[in-house]
Amino acid sequence: MKDRKKKAFELRRLQGRQRASNKYRVKRRKIVEYLYETKPELHPQLRKVYRPGGGRPRIEEQIPGLLEAIEEIAKIGGASDDRRRSEIIRPCLTLDDLREKLRQRGMDVKRTTLYYR
C-alpha cells in the first residue's frame, strides 16, 4: 500500500513538472516573439535563443518534384486497382529498385526516406 502511494505521489510530481515546463516554454516563446517583432536590433541575439521553425527540413523541400517522380515511377511499373474503382496504384518495385530509378534521375535519396513516402 505504501509503495502504491509513493508511486502515485511520484507520478503527480512528474506530471506537475511536465505542466510547469511546458508553460515555461510557451511563455518564453511568446516573449521572444514579442521582442522579435518590436525590437529588430535584437534579432541576432534572439536567433541564438529561439529559432522559429527549428528541426530538419522536409525532404520534399530539399528535392522538389520527389513525390511526382515516385508517383510516375510507380505508375509505369505498377498495377492499378483490380476493379478500377479507385485511383490506388500498387507498385511492383522494391524500395531498392525505386531508389535506383530515382538515382538515375539525379535524386539521391536514402532507402528509409523512401519507405516513409
Q: What pTM was computed for the model?
A: 0.49
CA distance 61 to 104: 20
- Top-confidence residue, 37 or 53: 37
Q: Of 48, 68, 71, nearest to 60 (Cα)?
A: 68
What does the block give as the cell for 98? 525505386
CA dist., res. 39 & res. 36, Å (int)? 6
Provide the 8-state DSSP code for 92. -
91 by DSSP, 3-state: which?
strand
Question: What pLDDT sits at residue 6?
Answer: 92
Say if residues 111 and 96 touch (Cβ distance below 8 Å): yes
**79-111 per-position pLDDT tens digit:** 666 666 667 776 777 888 889 989 999 988 888
Q: Name which residue leads in pLDDT, 49 or 40.
A: 40
Domain boundaries, the chain: 2-49, 59-115
Q: Residues 59-73: what's their mean pLDDT?
A: 86
